[in-house]
Amino acid sequence: MPTSGMTVGAPSWRYLPVALALVLPLLVCAGWTWLYANNAQRQEAGIAARIVRVQAERIFAQSRDMLERVAALAPGACPDLLPDLQRWGALNPYFRSLALARNSRVYCSSALGEVDASIDDFSRWPVRISPDSWPRTVAGTPLAPDRPAVLLGKSRPDGYGGIVEVDGRYVQDLLDAVATMGDFQLELIVGKGAPIRSESWGRPASHVVPLYQETADEPGGAALTVNVMAPAEALVQAWSQSMLTYLPVALLIGAGLALGAYRLQANRQSFKEQLRRAMRAGEFHVHYQPIYSLASGRCEGVEALMRWERPGSGPVRPDVFIAAAEADGMIIALTRHLLMLIERDARTWATPADFHIGVNVAAEHLSSAGLVADIQAFVANVAARRPLVVLEITEHSLISDNGQARRNIDALRAEGLRVAIDDFGTGHCSLSYLQKFPVDYLKIDKGFVQAIEPAGGEAPVLDAIITLASRLGLAVVAEGVEVQYQFDYLKARGVAFVQGYFFARPMPSVEFVRWYAGGAQPDAAA
Ligand code: C2E
Ligand code: CA
Ligand code: CA
């Protein structure tokens, strides 16, 4: 139910939630696809790293076997052992050279034959090595200073040892092949040695993102590390691709949410604004409920009852929107609108002079200085029909009066209008008000009529009200008469008017015109 105090802030901020509802799914989509793309890249990098590690381990396993064989050759003179070294080096893939060492000096090499070089020569590429710290990757060897290699060495207690140089080309080819999987940069490091890198390596560090590191412990005691990086642009590209895939969905969700937020916002519009808009849009109309005179046996008047039909959400109960309009200070505007609608409807009627038109007037309107002018204007506009306008006011209006209501009533009654106390008996009216206020009718609330028992039982409170009214010289209108025995009961007690479904339901003006032309009296009342 609409309530007061729902006015929202400046229009510029009003649709902020709508904008947020639209933008939020896009932001979530951007964030989520970023994570997704990152994750996918990392997974691929992980696969790439594992491929490199497995392949590298295979090469190193062969190299270790070879190292065992080379180290086992010594001791012996180089010319004696060289043929074996050369054969093994030539027939097996991967090896640049196989060499024998004695007391830290290389004395025999499959590539150079008999030599006398210090093992420390290797230390130029790039770190000092000692036989017990092998294997490791190096940036170059004395034979090929610019080409990386993997060195494996084994020393024996007798001072002899073997050295195996694995050509880094194999590792590099492997790294290059795997790098194409995802525009990766790869490097492999064995021990604390120099990294062997894929050809794609070389972008500035600020432009690459480390994606994955795979490490494994080699049986030789050194760690094998594979690092995978990717250029930042590759990540951004992967992200924008998945973003493109999910963007339409995010847009749809955003549009749906924004629409929902917009509707919510529209509903939250101040109730006043809604009423004003509804009046402008012509959503209000009036139903007329005939009032039957027992004296004449005819319909002698109607009560105008307001109806609000909201497009899309159907009718709003009058007691609900009337109460809300009263709470929001809109009831006067709404009643003026009602009067205007009645004026329009009444032009089509064929009712005689003095036909009663009952109009409900709320307390605030009754005690406002503008009431008399409003009603005078109304009376002037329906003058062609010369109806008798009856203001239906509540007991509450009388109690809360500070004088203005009384002045209004006096002024209007002086001009020939009538006043009815509506829903009599349901409010907290002190009977003294009835003496103080000059009124014409008592409308007995339907609750008392419904208290009439079907089998001719008594309804003492109803009887008391009817008696009271006649003593005060007020005509009684009984509301909510639905069945024959209620009608009979009221008729027997001299009630002047009845209103209720038994006689007729409230109906739109067109229907009322037809109904009125058709005789306008119930069979049972005849
Ligand atoms: P109310 O002034 O007491 O109006 C009579 C109500 O009783 C109407 O309900 C009417 O439809 C209903 N009614 C008529 N005959 C019978 C019957 O035989 N049995 C039963 N059970 N009900 C019957 P409605 O139209 O829903 O209006 C409810 C209330 O809303 C009205 O009570 C009145 O207080 C207020 N209201 C309606 N229109 C206006 C208006 O234009 N201005 C103001 N200020 N209040 C209005
Ligand atoms: Ca009424
Ligand atoms: Ca009533």
Average pLDDT over residues 12-16: 71
The best mutation among 338, 360, 364, 481 to test binding of ligand 1, ranked by most ligand atoms within 8 Å of the C-beta, falls on 360
Which ligand is closest in space to the CA of residue 304? 1
Q: Confidence band (pLDDT; 50, 70, 90) for 12?
A: low
The response to whether residue 447 sits with its C-beta less than 6 Å from ligand 1 reads: no
Q: Which residue has the higher pLDDT, 225 or 263?
A: 225
Average pLDDT over residues 16-24: 88
Separation between Cα atoms, residue 115 and residue 107, nearest integer Å: 5
The Å distance, Cα 450 to ligand 3 centre, comes to 13
Separation between Cα atoms, residue 279 and residue 288, nearest integer Å: 19
pLDDT reported for residue 127: 40
For the cut 90, the answer to whether the pLDDT of residue 8 exceeds it is: no
The Å distance, Cα 292 to ligand 1 centre, comes to 16
DSSP 369: T
pLDDT tens, residue by residue, 417-446: 999 999 998 877 667 788 788 999 999 999
Place of tokens 């409807």: 345
The Å distance, Cα 9 to ligand 1 centre, comes to 36
pLDDT reported for residue 76: 87
Residues of the chain with CATH 3.30.450.20: 18-168
The response to whether residue 334 sits with its C-beta less than 6 Å from ligand 1 reads: no
Question: Could you give the C-alpha distances from 60 to 66, 177, 180, 241, in angstroms and in order?
Answer: 9, 19, 23, 39
Containing 484, the helix (H) or strand (E) segment is helix 484-492
The response to whether residue 362 sits with its C-beta less than 6 Å from ligand 1 reads: yes
Place of tokens 């009388």: 398
Instruction: Give every CB contact of residue 446 below 8 A, 6+ residues apart in sequence.
Output: 479, 480, 481, 500
For the cut 80, the answer to whether the pLDDT of residue 13 exceeds it is: no
Separation between Cα atoms, residue 1 and residue 5, nearest integer Å: 13
For the cut 60, the answer to whether the pLDDT of residue 373 exceeds it is: yes
pLDDT reported for residue 248: 93
Please state the atom number of ligand 1 nearest to the C-alpha of residue 305.
38
Q: Does the 18-168 domain belong in CATH 3.30.450.20? A: yes
Average pLDDT over residues 126-147: 67
pLDDT reported for residue 129: 47
pTM recorded for the entire structure: 0.56
pLDDT tens, residue by residue, 64-98: 899 999 989 878 899 999 999 999 998 888 898 99
The Å distance, Cα 305 to ligand 1 centre, comes to 6
Residue percentage of the chain with pLDDT more than 70: 91
Cα-Cα-Cα-Cα torsion 462, 481, 379, 361, nearest 10 degrees, comes to 60
Question: Could you give the C-alpha distances from 117 to 112, 148, 190, in angstroms and in order?
Answer: 11, 19, 24
pLDDT tens, residue by residue, 223-262: 889 999 988 888 888 899 999 999 999 999 999 999 998 8
DSSP 351: P
The residue contributing the CA closest to ligand 1 atom 43 is 360
Residues of the chain with CATH 3.20.20.450: 282-521
The response to whether residue 358 sits with its C-beta less than 6 Å from ligand 1 reads: no
The Å distance, Cα 393 to ligand 2 centre, comes to 8
Fold observed for domain 282-521:
TIM Barrel (3.20.20)
pLDDT reported for residue 206: 66
Q: Are 215 and 203 in contact (CB under 8 A)?
A: no
Q: Confidence band (pLDDT; 50, 70, 90) for 118?
A: confident
Please state the atom number of ligand 1 nearest to the C-alpha of residue 445.
3
pLDDT reported for residue 517: 92
For the cut 70, the answer to whether the pLDDT of residue 192 exceeds it is: yes
The response to whether residue 506 sits with its C-beta less than 6 Å from ligand 1 reads: yes
Q: Are 305 and 318 in contact (CB under 8 A)?
A: yes
Q: Which residue has the higher pLDDT, 34 or 159?
A: 34
Angle made by CA atoms 55, 57, 62, in degrees to the nearest 5:
100
Mean pLDDT of the chain: 87
Q: Are 448 and 461 in contact (CB under 8 A)?
A: yes
Instruction: Give every CB contact of residue 252 below 8 A, 6+ residues apart in sequence.
Output: none
Residue percentage of the chain with pLDDT more than 90: 56
DSSP 250: H
The response to whether residue 337 sits with its C-beta less than 6 Å from ligand 1 reads: no
For the cut 90, the answer to whether the pLDDT of residue 181 exceeds it is: no
Q: Which residue has the higher pLDDT, 270 or 153?
A: 153
pLDDT reported for residue 205: 62
pLDDT reported for residue 267: 67
The Å distance, Cα 421 to ligand 2 centre, comes to 9
Comparing CA positions, the residue from 169, 126, 178, 128 lying closest to residue 149 is 169
The Å distance, Cα 287 to ligand 1 centre, comes to 10
Average pLDDT over residues 379-396: 95
